[in-house]
Amino acid sequence: PFGAVFASVHGKQQIVSTRSGFRLWLADDEGNVAQTLIFKELMRAPCPEIGLLNPSRNPIRIPTTFGKLYPFEDRRMVTVANGALFLLDLERMAVVGSLTRLRHIQDLAVDRHEILILESGRSLVRIATLPDSSQSTIVLKNLELFVSAESQIVQADECREEAPAELLVHNGESPDSSLPGDDRVDQANPGGGVEDDARLIDSHMKKLELFDTLNELKYDESILFKSGRSRRKHRSKVTNPIVEIGQIPKEIEPDSGEPSGS
């Protein structure tokens, strides 16, 4: 149930089959198992992480077994399990690299020295030992999708906003009724389009003036919302600077024991 693949290991063609517990079986073309490769301890040890340009913030949990196998280059093997990718060297018994920062693995393809990972419907990740020589240029000919720019231009009619039509209802019937004999009449005046446009523009300009006025008003900073806790400032006691004739301010009022001068 774990899958198998034909690959060249130790200079000869063999069947590589995955087993539970990070094990791989090496068998001949008749199915006779010749060797068991155990990667359990190697998977627990830290291994190099393959770098990505846009990695996921949350790493994927390491699976408990290998998944589908893909031969890569001469003696290496790519395996995918639980959304993680591992690059194995079967002859040296080593985990060459791991990729645990993918968001998802929908499909995977291996071709010579590069690995293509379909992460999502619009995300394709390329991992390779050599730089890309295609220069990201694809020339497609004789396709109907590529036509002249002039043929793609469509002449569209200009639309303008009109005032909604008012309905006159006779005989006390509701505006939503659809009975025959309904005497609903459009009050849209054909010659009043210019006046309606001017009225709408005037209404919008008044709203803009109101918004500008509100923006220029000064408010107390205490009513503005601010994130975090704010300490209340204790207002100092303000004394009345105006003193009426014959009245002594409280700050200079003499003690009760001393007589006040007249």
Specify the CATH number for the domain of residue 91. Answer: 2.40.10
Task: Give the residue carrying structure tokens 């001949």.
Answer: 28
Residue 249 inside a domain? The answer is: no
- Per-block mean pLDDT, blocks of 10 residues, the chain (262 long): 81 89 89 90 89 83 85 88 89 91 89 88 86 57 43 51 53 48 46 69 79 69 61 59 55 53 46
pLDDT of residue 139: 44
pLDDT of residue 223: 60
First to last CA, the chain: 112
> What distance in Å separates the CA atoms of residue 101 and residue 60, rounded to the nearest whole number?
7
pLDDT of residue 89: 92
Say if residues 21 and 14 touch (Cβ distance below 8 Å).
no
Residue 251 inside a domain? The answer is: no
pLDDT of residue 219: 61
Task: Give the residue carrying structure tokens 């010579």.
Answer: 112
pLDDT of residue 36: 92
Residue 252 inside a domain? The answer is: no
Residue 52 inside a domain? The answer is: no
Q: Which domain holds residue 86?
A: 4-46+60-103
Residue 33 inside a domain? The answer is: yes
Specify the number of domains making up the chain: 1
pLDDT of residue 10: 85
Residue 172 inside a domain? The answer is: no
Residues 6 or more apart whose CB falls under 8 angstroms from that of 30 comprise none
Residue 213 inside a domain? The answer is: no
pLDDT of residue 166: 52
CA-CA distances (angstroms) from residue 243 to 113, 154, 254, 260? 94, 82, 16, 18
Residue 183 inside a domain? The answer is: no
